Amino acid sequence: MKKGTSTVRSKLASLLWLVAVVCALFLAVGALLVALKANQDNAVVTFILDGADTLDLGVFSREDGIFTFAKDPNQVKSALVNWGLAALAFLVVGKIVDRVIRP
């Protein structure tokens, strides 16, 4: 294999791993903000929660995710469990993709 191709594959793998880590970070920080009952009028908090809502892909949502908790009106447990699982899934899939692409 040519050295140029190897370099491109390595950089692409690193970029995809970085994207997966940033996605996982959004989900983890979003779950933490929900657990701490952060002020949702704050622009940064709203940005992170909206990003986490987008990244949960519907499968890991707070309202109707993999795990739902009936006695959780503020959706704290749902956010911690579902978004935590989503963050873990992003990291696992990101690392697998990194290993497949990297020469």
User: What is the pLDDT averaged over residues 48-77?
Assistant: 84
67 pLDDT above the threshold of 80? yes
Cβ pair 33, 49 in contact under 8 A: yes
Encode pLDDT of 16-36 as tens digits.
999 999 999 999 999 999 999
Q: How many CA atoms are closer than 13 Å to the CA of 4, on its beta-carbon side?
A: 0
User: Would you state the pLDDT for residue 33?
Assistant: 94
Share of the chain above pLDDT 90, in %: 67
Helices 43-55 and 3-35 meet at what angle, rounded to 10?
120
Encode pLDDT of 78-92 as tens digits.
889 999 999 999 999
How far, rounded to the nearest angstrom, does the alpha carbon of residue 58 sit from its chain's CA centroid?
A: 12
pLDDT confidence band for 1 (50 / 70 / 90): low
